[in-house]
Amino acid sequence: MEITQPLGRTCSILTSLRSFVEKEDVRASVDEAERDVAFHFEHEFQKLNSSQPDTKAIPTFFKPRPKPNSMVSLVKQHARARKEQLKEELLDVAVLRQIEYLIEEYCMPLEEDREVRINYDGFTQVATRCREVFGPAVSCNFKASVFQMFKQDSDGCIKARLYLTYLHQRAAMIHMRFQLGCFDPDNKGILSESQLEDFLEHFSASVPSLSEMPEGFMPLYRRIAARKMLFLHGHNGNVRIKDLVSDQALMAEISDLRIPDQSEEQLIGSWFSLQSTMRVHNTFSRLDEEGNGFLSLQEFSQISGSTMSDLFLNRIFEEHTGMRKGTARDKMDLVAFTDFVLAWDHRSIPAAIKYFFPIFDLKKTGHISPAELYIFFKEVLFIWVHVLNDDATLTTYDVVDELIDMIQPKSPPCITQEDLRVSGMSGIFFSILADAKQFRDYNYREHNLPKDTDE
């Protein structure tokens, strides 16, 4: 048997063998003694090996460059070639405008009160003209499969407006992919939180509405704006570029900031605007009475004007504070506050369901039981009666039954995350269980509808 142990460990085996031989029965035969010694040695050697750490658990500190014809090398070459191909396929504003003119030239005869339409024959003629003018790289935008993506009328025509919108969105997506890729030096297709912040700082230089940013606010803008990307698509503090560019609503929200002369209302509605990020920071600063950069539970509870239940607020701190290095469990930093604002403002999206569900799943069973619904709404009902001075005849059991009927879980009466997602009612569900004012708005929703007036 080959021994590859260090000298000190080998000596420990020899010491053990010497002690064993000294205790061995002298009356045993030579063969028996040798057999016992071999058995004892094997036992000691296996015991020593089992106590050593597995070398597979040690991380790799050096990775050699891939060989020229290896699979890794070929994949990287293909990725670079694909990147160059996408650059060629990228349509600028002038090309898109020219395509629009060609579609108007080859479209179907315009009829009164009907949009511009084009059939497949006209579509292929536009494709031929574009290839002649702009080269073969534009062919990918005129495939038959692209035409089939759009609904056709009885004449086999598609709406030119929808097709042009598709071209603009695709061009914007590719352009954004390249911009994000500039901050991915390792070409992993993944961006960390700091890389996302660097991208947003670079992006802000091309946005007119962000040029009026107060001095010293950029670090806060970066941090708050990047949280939406991480909240929607983050995993362990990183985001896949593919997930970002596939989110058309998110990409449109970022790209639309470049549109000049937007109204104040439009800017406030965009998470990435200066007005929106300052709103979040100013709210946090207003609640931070001690001015230490953290919110205590008592300070955070003022966010709703005392209409959110104490149990709900406590559970937010239990589940979503102290998650970052250097933060305490009983303090909420700006990042945790920003995540709450994102979740509360978008209670129906999957990321918000993932955020709120653990708060109500007290037993960590993967579902919310009627008992847990009862516990949370009982506190909301107390605020409803004693703070808002509303209907005291309302019973908790009736509301719990209504919530279950609203979600219609697959395995009633327990409610899972998937049940909430499928129902499309997660926003109302979380509102009722958390905030008495939100419940009042829901309960009196019919009274709040605008009444028809006779002319």
Per-residue pLDDT reduced to its tens digit, 150-207: 999 888 999 999 999 888 888 888 888 888 888 888 788 899 999 999 999 999 988 8
- Tokens 């008992």 found at: 371
Q: Torsions phi, psi of 234, nearest 5? A: -75, 150
Alpha helices in 217-369 (DSSP H): 218-233, 241-246, 248-255, 264-268, 274-287, 297-300, 310-320, 334-345, 350-360
Average pLDDT over residues 243-253: 90
Please write the tens of the pLDDT for every residue from 255-267: 888 888 888 888 8
Q: What pLDDT does residue 56 have?
A: 60
Q: Each residue of 195-236: pLDDT tens digit? A: 999 999 999 988 888 888 998 999 999 999 999 999 999 998
**Cα 180 to Cα 97: distance, rounded to the nearest angstrom:** 26
- Whether domain 294-455 has CATH 1.10.3720.10: no
Q: CA geometry: angle at 334 spanning 330 and 340, to 5°?
A: 80
Confidence category of residue 2, pLDDT binned at 50, 70, 90: very low
pTM for the structure as a whole: 0.74
Across residues 338-357, what is the average pLDDT?
A: 96
Asked if residues 242 and 189 have their Cβ atoms less than 8 Å apart, the reply is yes
pLDDT given at position 274:
94
Mean pLDDT of the chain: 84
Please give the pLDDT value at position 113. 61
Kindly report, as residue ranges, where domains of CATH 1.10.238.10 are found in the chain: 294-455
Cα 42 to chain centroid distance, Å, stands at: 54
**CATH topology for the 189-287 domain:** Recoverin; domain 1 (1.10.238)
CB atoms within 10 A of CB 270: 19
CA 26 to chain centre: 74
